[in-house]
Structure 1
Amino acid sequence: MPQASAPPVLYTFPETDQLQTSLANFIRKAQGDAIAHRGVFTIALSGGSLPNNLKELTKLDGIQWDKWQVFFADERIVPLDHPESNYNACAKAFLDGVPIKREQIHTLNTDLFREQTRIDPTAEIKPGEEDEAESEAVDIADDYEKQLVSTFAGANAARYPTFDLILLGMGPDGHTCSLFPGHELLAENDRWIAEIQDSPKPPKRRITFTYQVLNHAFRCAFVAAGEGKQDMLHNILDKPEEGLPCSRVRPASPGLVFWFVDDAAAGKVQFPKTEYKWIERASDDDPISVERKKMKSEMDAAVAEADSK
């Protein structure tokens, strides 16, 4: 029987530079665990302010870039060199400065773009082209899902892709990826990747991970900084019953969700904080290992009980 998801782990830091350094060490730790178990590290990135918070990765030793498989938790339907492209933001922030091969970075397939998308990707869809634009977006989302299947099928026979780490941001309305409050995609239970043509935040046309992917990851980690995040962070962590998109990211056990925030963003949060220790050392007592050991102990006890009957 599947176990319920664990509550979030909240890490807070006095300054942004401490947050960034700790986040980089957290990623290195997740990478090391993944490579030790499966020989590969699967990670999904987001846009917004997240890319600039990943620059510390370029300064760390022990990053095995040749073992990385990089995806994007959501992406705008724009050319890869467009200012709105999440890939472009991550490339400029750190990917272009590290020894990772382009084929390890999974982007949307721009060969599927209509001519209009190539010319002016953020323009309003012209009257009479609605069906064509929708078909284009569906094809792009389906192609990205096939990229997920191709990457995870050999190493993972499960029904869902299981990312080692998904890095996420928090929008001012509580959205994450391109999953917005009140939108029908919050209830998507079949597809791994979905298209969205009516994003409340421009550009309107995007593809996004659904909760079918987010909630089967080993680790999801949100990053938020600044006083402007206070009210929304309070709502997400202290009022999960409101069902904001960020609050719905709760990976099934043994997966965990983490929050990396600065003290300014955490100013109104009542949710209990956890001391961050991995910056000094890596050990077997991190939350993922503890959860896995707990599961194994419970399973061993259940087997022993069954054998005794």
Structure 2
Amino acid sequence: MAAYEPKKNSEIRIFESSDEMATDLAEYISQVSEISVKERGYFAIALSGGPLVSFLRKLCEAPYNKTLDWSKWYIFWSDERAVAKNHADSNYKSMKEGFLSKVPILSSHVYSINDNATVEDAATDYEFVIRQLVKVRTIGVSESTDCPKFDLILLGMGSDGHVASLFPKHQALELKDDWVTYITDSPQPPPERITFTLPVINSASNIAILATGVDKATAVHLAVSDCRDGPDTPAPLPARMVQPTNGKLVWFLDNAAASSLDMSDGAYQQHREY
């Protein structure tokens, strides 16, 4: 197995257990939140769906539930399924039940998509909302890309290497000017979704990608390896295309997801508690 090193402005953290990962993720989010509030007066965070919500559980406990300045938090979604908010597939529903309802975030600071609109209109509406908040600097703006500069975007990764609702070889990966787009042909149900585009994701100050399980190992390996792309190289995975413009990317992996990485040269370090 070849040796690999993390890309520029990226870090890989590997954990023995889900509890260790959740503990470290809470500390990481807490630090980013405190810095953002101190520097900008706000903390704009974009969440995603899937198992991510279970790893936010430590934020609902002491000391974070008492010490974080929750009044400065503004919640967004990097992607959402075009279903009703009370639908089992709704990212909003799972995040509200597992996280938002357990911390004192202002309901007026939670920006979910319009579930009564068509998926196309929902994407348009969501981008409009974000543009308005960029104008008043509740969300920052990237000087290099003119895209919104979220303080933190939390992403999961599928076994196919997709992030948000950006799937391999999908035309949505090519979009340059849109901030939010929609798809009607997701390879995983439900088919209709809205999603941040790559320019928006890559403009964030901080990006964290969580991946657990041996079914993610190959995708993790392909996403973080430093092998050069050539004419015979398969199309890069969406997760590999997450390359912050002026921010930092942190991978949170369990041992199973990291099992295809070569750690013999010390490029990757087992995470140690703060």
TM range (shorter): 0.7 to 0.9
Counterpart in the other structure of 1:81: 86
Counterpart in the other structure of 2:48: 46
The counterpart of 2:134, out of the listed 141, 152, 166, is 152
Distance in structure 1 (CA, Å) of the matches to 2:115 and 2:108: 15
Counterpart in the other structure of 1:265: 257
Distance in structure 1 (CA, Å) of the matches to 2:141 and 2:15: 38
Q: Which runs of 5+ in 1 are unaligned?
A: 113-135, 281-309
The counterpart of 2:238, out of the listed 220, 230, 245, is 245
- Greater fraction helix: 1
Instruction: Decide whether the 8 Å contact of 1:228 with 1:265 is kept in 2.
Output: yes
Are the structure 2 counterparts of residues 157 and 176 from structure 1 closer, same or farther at C-alpha, using a change threshold of 3 Å?
closer
1:41-190 equivalences in 2 (<5 Å): 41-59=43-61, 60-61=63-64, 62-112=67-117, 136-155=118-137, 156=140, 158=142, 159-190=146-177
Q: Confirm whether residue 209 of structure 1 aligns to residue 196 of structure 2.
A: yes
Deviations 1:145-189 (A, max 9, x none): 011112221124552100110000111111011100011011001
Larger Rg: 1
* Alignment root-mean-square deviation, CA: 1.7
Counterpart in the other structure of 1:194: 181
Are the structure 2 counterparts of residues 157 and 232 from structure 1 closer, same or farther at C-alpha, using a change threshold of 3 Å?
closer
Counterpart in the other structure of 1:9: 11
Identity of aligned residues (%): 37
Instruction: Decide whether the 8 Å contact of 2:79 with 2:193 is kept in 1.
Output: yes
TM-score normalized by structure 1? 0.77
Are the structure 2 counterparts of residues 99 and 198 from structure 1 closer, same or farther at C-alpha, using a change threshold of 3 Å?
same
Instruction: Decide whether the 8 Å contact of 1:9 with 1:274 is kept in 2.
Output: no
Deviations 1:22-59 (A, max 9, x none): 00100000001100100100100010111111111101
- Greater fraction strand: 2
Distance in structure 2 (CA, Å) of the matches to 1:245 and 1:69: 26
Give the CA deviation at 1:251: 0.8
Instruction: Decide whether the 8 Å contact of 1:240 with 1:247 is kept in 2.
Output: no
For residue 110 of structure 1, give the secondary structure of its aligned residue in structure 2. coil
Counterpart in the other structure of 1:19: 21
Counterpart in the other structure of 2:4: none
Are the structure 2 counterparts of residues 240 and 208 from structure 1 closer, same or farther at C-alpha, using a change threshold of 3 Å?
farther
Greater shift in the superposed pair: 257-266 or 240-249: 240-249
Distance in structure 1 (CA, Å) of the matches to 2:163 and 2:96: 20
Counterpart in the other structure of 2:3: none
